[in-house]
Amino acid sequence: MKEKKALHRFAIALMFLYLFMPLIATFLYSIATDWHDTVLPKGLTLSWYVKLFQDVRFVAALGRTLFACSVAVGLNIAVIVVSLFIVSLYLPKLERFLQAFVMLPYAIPGVIGAVGLIKVYSSGPLAISGTVWLLIGAYFVVILPYTYQGTRNSMRTVDLPQLVSAAELLGASKPKAFFKVVLPNILPGVMVAALLSFSVLFGEFVLTNLLVGGYYETVQIYLMRRMRESGHLSSAVVISYYLFVFCLSWIALKLGQNFKNGNFDNLRGKKYELPHYR
């Protein structure tokens, strides 16, 4: 039995090593002074990171990326959560049509979608081609499948109609039941869907390059330009990206967990408390 456990752990360790090897090599290259014809770097330095964070263009690109991704994810989550709540509660027969609609982005390649958007919004009353607003709209559509599936699975797990009915029997109105009972229950799944969507958008290059290009330089466009100048600097950009997404995910999950616990603690002593959903 012990030999089997050791073998399983060894296999898992090998798998993780295989998965993280490209990231480890990228990190080593980002702190290497010179690494061309040797097995290991000739020297180590953090000068590439210092140079990166002293670059005003990188900081500006990071801010632009955060703004576009945050607005798109926030709007998408708000629309999907409210829409699914209404459909699941009042119009369950329409759910299959809603699912088919939000899955359409999977069937449309990014290049074709970008060309279509540029053609539609290059003229007319909404001439927003080449602006961040068109990019946010495109981002909104791209992440629809991710946010929909995560939110839908969370609502099915908590048995939404029964949960709302129980809350109403205990004296809560539908809006109060949604914010005080339903939302804390589905929040972990919604947070995971939001983080996945944010990560997808943060690494999106094709759509961003076609829609806005140099007019709105994001981290990925900045990375593409830096790759032509220095491999060490572009490696530092990649590692910074992974660290940023990791830290953001950890903070968001912690906040979501605290928010959920705090909401349920506030339900104590109120007439619509649902202790069996703790």
Statement: residue 269 has pLDDT above 60: no
Angle at the Cα of 30 (from 25 to 33), degrees rounded to 5? 110
> Is 15 among the domain residues?
no
Distance (Å, whole) CA 147 – CA 222: 27
Distance (Å, whole) CA 107 – CA 213: 24
Looking at residue 88, which CATH number applies to its domain? 1.10.3720.10
Statement: residue 263 has pLDDT above 60: no
Cα 63 from chain centre = 16
Distance (Å, whole) CA 141 – CA 76: 8
Distance (Å, whole) CA 243 – CA 259: 24
Which single residue is written with the structure tokens 């609609």?
101
Q: State percent of the chain over pLDDT 70.
A: 91
The answer to whether 49 and 236 are in contact (CB under 8 A) is yes
Residue 181, amino acid: V
The answer to whether 188 and 260 are in contact (CB under 8 A) is yes
pLDDT of residue 268: 39
Q: What is the pLDDT of residues 97-149, one digit of tens each?
A: 888 888 888 888 878 888 888 888 888 788 888 889 999 999 999 999 999 99
Q: What is the pLDDT of residues 25-34, one digit of tens each?
A: 889 888 888 8
What is the pTM for the complete model shown? Answer: 0.79
Task: Look up the domain containing 183 and give its range.
Answer: 59-277
What is the domain count for the chain?
1
> Is 21 among the domain residues?
no
Tell me the residue ranges of DSSP E strands in the chain.
Answer: none
CB atoms within 10 A of CB 138: 24
Structure token digits, residue 215 = 């007019």
> Is 9 among the domain residues?
no
> Is 228 among the domain residues?
yes
Q: What is the pLDDT of residues 145-194, one digit of tens each?
A: 999 998 998 888 888 888 888 888 888 888 888 888 888 888 888 888 88
